Structure 1
Amino acid sequence: MIDNQLGIRKPRGLTAALSILTTYTPGGGRVPYEDEVGSDGLLRYKFQGNPQHYTNAGLRAAFREGVPLIWFFGIQQGVYLPFFPVWIVGVEAEQSQVAVALDEAQRSLPIGGVSSEIERRYSLGITRRRLHQPVFRQRVIQAYESACAMCRLRHRSLLDAAHIIPDRDTRGVPAIANGVSLCKIHHAAYDENILGIRPDYVVEVRADILREIDGPMLKHGLQELHHHALALPRRRADQPDPVLLEERYDRFRTAS
């Protein structure tokens, strides 16, 4: 299903390509898809070397025939998140690339700079939901070894990748250093500024929450996290960016 060397899998006997691959980039490197979204909201995938190579011919054939492919995104060395179906909806020969739709709805949108602002935002929203968010979640949770950085909960289905700078912000890129693995309760508390994370990776609880008297969830789940050290990824490059944490912490202090 995957061609690790060429990135494009075009089996013998098939006219069109079967799958495309984006390799894992360790923390500190450029996120592979970060600069590959066009102004129309569609993702771009580069040709492999010579545009006339049989793998690239397989991409052009997939476009002509309108057949779906699988897109494998690396979330760890040797671990991939598959997206299926995706479609080649345009060949941009001058840029040695193809335009890729992640959703049926994107297949009918104009390609290039002719789409309206509404269509562009709609397409970007699809790309964010279908690709950026799932890949971001998997990469962040992998970096934190499938545990909440605050309470150490290890039930993966109950974990989220919390953005430090929200993804609605232009600087809220889906990079591991802009994320923290949190359980759903602590993610919600972080988003609501009930909890804050200082640039030195220490958790703070909002003053009014510390004064509240309630049941064991408040006491053990929130209040006892005050001045608690965040559990960090082993790789320094995967740890939260202190500059981003400081900006988010300022918002928490304002809310307090």
Structure 2
Amino acid sequence: MLIGPEFDAVLRREAQRWLTIRTNDGQLPISSNDLLDFEVEGRPFRLMDAQRGIRKPRELSSAFSIRTVYTVEGKERPYADEVGPDGLLRYKWRGDDPDHAENRALRAAMTEEAPLIWFFGVAPGVYKPIYPVYLLWEEPEQHQFVIDADVARGLVSQGDQITEQVRRYIIRQTKQRLHQPVFRATVLRAYETRCAVCALRHSELLDAAHIVPDSDEAGIASVRNGLAMCKIHHAAYDSSVLGIRPDLVVEIRADLLEEIDGPMLEHGLKGRHGQRLMALPKVRAERPDADLLEERYARFRSAG
């Protein structure tokens, strides 16, 4: 059996490869039970600590994975992992003691530049794995590490004066690598992998559509600002061909209702006009926010 740095490298590589296969190249979240199927060198190995936020196996010299628990909509997470003014994410210490074993494990991972797996909760016991992520530096006064979704390594260093152009780049790339996959997994899970407009169930044909775009101040990364949509209805929604009223009724732009075309326009779009959404989250707190729908519907009306 491999030991030391050789085992560390094999474990991290094989774990990421296995997760890529099991999540259909990142398209699907994974349950904590399914994570127990992972094996390395023919023996079971836990990828995530079920009780703690930081997994530091005894076989390794540093942390292997971190976890952010799922929090019910409207409630605060126990640890506030936030974005700093430089656009980089922060991951909080375990407690207030800098010498806590888990904080030492993170510090070692930072020193070794070890790739971590970030298990981000999208439902109770269900996670979206983000990997690789790296710890860039520590901010002891704030009890936190600066964490990077493999975007800023080699681009910024502690104490740098980051230009606005670099900050925008980091934020944009982090959204693509972390926020958007987590948002998609959360929204599709809430809608039970069904298009809100037509109830299509094929996950590979579904997107998580923002009600108010995430580029807007009101475009929060919350399931209440999301709708599961097939790619056709998502494109129609984004281009204001399709609108959704605050009472959850679909409208199609007036000029298209007069147009004659093939079956997709006739049945896929015009046929949905005046109909209620076909899929909604069962949990009321995860349903679309009426104020956000109202704001987006006003844009649809003005575009028509």
Same fold (TM > 0.5) = yes
Structure number with higher relative contact order (C-alpha < 8 Å, ≥ 6 residues apart): 1
| Post-superposition CA distance 1:103-139 (Å, at most 9, x none) | 1544431346721111111111111110000000010
- Assess if the C-alpha contact under 8 Å between 1:22 and 1:32 holds in 2: no
1:58 and 2:105 aligned: yes
For the Cα contact (< 8 Å) 1:38–1:112, is it kept in 2? no
| TM-score after normalising by structure 2 | 0.81
Report SS of the residue matched to 1:217: helix
**2:148 matched to which residue of 1?**
101
Distance 1:142 1:85 in 2: 23
Match of 1:90 in 2: 137
Matched residue of 1:220: which SS?
helix
* 2:63 maps to 1:47: no
Question: Quick check: 1:254 aligned with 2:297?
Answer: no
Q: How does 1:119-198 map to 2 (within 5 A)?
A: 119-198=166-245
- Find the aligned partners of 1:245 and 1:229 in 2 and give their Cα distance: 14
Structure 2: which amino acid aligns with 1:85? P
Contact 1:193 1:206 survives alignment (8 Å): yes
1:22–1:35 distance in 2 versus 1, CA, 3 Å: closer
Name which of 241, 265, 284 aligns with 1:218.
Answer: 265
Q: Residues 135 and 74 from structure 1, CA distance in 2 versus in 1: closer, same or farther, beyond 3 angstroms?
A: same
Structure 2 alignment gaps of length 5 or more: 1-46
What code does the residue aligned with 1:163 have? H
Superposed CA offset, 1:62-81 (max 9, x none): 11111111111011111111
2:290 match: 242
Counterpart for residue 77 of structure 1: 124
The structure 2 residue matched to 1:22, chosen from 49, 68, 83, is 68
Decide whether aligned partners of structure 1 residues 104 and 180 sit closer, same or farther in structure 2, where only a CA change above 3 A counts: closer
Output the aligned Cα RMSD: 1.6
Residue pair 1:72, 1:82 contacting (<8 A) in 2 also: yes
| CA gap 1:34/1:223 in 2 versus in 1, 3 angstroms | farther
- The one-letter code of the counterpart of 2:303 is A
Structure 1 residues 70 and 27, CA, compared in 2 at 3 Å: closer, same or farther?
same
- What are the Cα deviations for residues 160-195 of structure 1, in whole angstroms up to 9, with x where unaligned? 000001011122111000000000000000000001
Match for 1:63: what amino acid? M
Counterpart amino acid of residue 115 in structure 2: P
Equivalent pairs counted in the alignment come to 256
**Residue 244 of structure 1: how far off its partner (Å):** 0.3
CA contact (8 A) 1:145 1:233 kept: yes
The whole-number CA distance in structure 2 between the counterparts of 1:176 and 1:163 is: 9
> Helix, strand or coil: the match of 1:45?
strand
**Deviation at 1:141?**
0.5
Structure 1 residue 40 displacement after superposition: 1.2
Contact 1:106 1:123 in 2 (8 A): no
Secondary structure of the residue aligned to 1:146 is coil
* Secondary structure, aligned partner of 2:264: helix
Q: TM-score, normalised by structure 1?
A: 0.95
